Amino acid sequence: MSKTENAIGEDLPYKDEPIQILPNLYLGSELNAANLHGAMLSGVPLVVPATSDFKPLKYKKIFWTHNQENLIADFIPAFAFIDEARSAGRNILVHCQCGVSRSASLIISYVMKVNRMTLNQAYEFVKDRSPYISPNMSLVYQLVEFEKTLK
């Protein structure tokens, strides 16, 4: 089994590189984040891990589980970190284990906020760029609640 395959031999998402969602904002997996050398070479020095056991040079760690509730409170500090990097012209990688649910939900919420999009619009916007996203239902419900705060 290679590093780009899971236990049953399926290819993992983002096996080659993270995907750019907005200028300076990338979505990927822990495999991308673990490859700091590759990330540094492509100009991605900042990382937002939504998983454990990773310590990049500069990061904002969010301790999320797949079924955790009340994540909206974590959005604001994460958004500030992302905004700081983007406004300085620095690339930032947002990831969780696979880049499919938790980190995708954070990216969707960020796109909703900065692009003033509905949840459906932001989901489609991100999905057009990354076919791998698939937030779990718990996170979708929280994104629905977040959407209400933006109105």
Q: What pLDDT does residue 142 have?
A: 92
Rg (Cα) of the chain, in Å, rounded?
A: 14
Q: Residue 75 sits in a domain of what CATH number?
A: 3.90.190.10
Q: Is 98 a catalytic residue?
A: no
In a domain? residue 13: no
Q: Is 3's pLDDT higher than 50?
A: no
Q: Give the range of the structural domain holding residue 86, as residue numbers without chain letter.
A: 19-61+69-149
Residue pair 112/119 in contact (Cβ under 8 Å)? The answer is yes
Residue 2 lies in a domain: no
Domain count, the chain: 1
Q: Which residue in the block uniquely carries the two structure tokens 């933006």?
A: 150
In a domain, 110, yes or no: yes
Report the half-sphere exposure of 42 (CA within 13 A, side-chain side). Answer: 18
The pLDDT, as a whole number, for residue 33 is 73
pLDDT digits (tens, 9 = 90+) for 4-59: 454 434 567 877 788 999 999 999 988 877 775 455 555 555 556 665 554 444 55
* Catalytic-labelled residue, pool 48, 96, 107, 117: 96
Residue 117 domain-assigned (yes or no):
yes
pLDDT at 40: 54
**Does residue 90 belong to any structural domain of this protein?**
yes
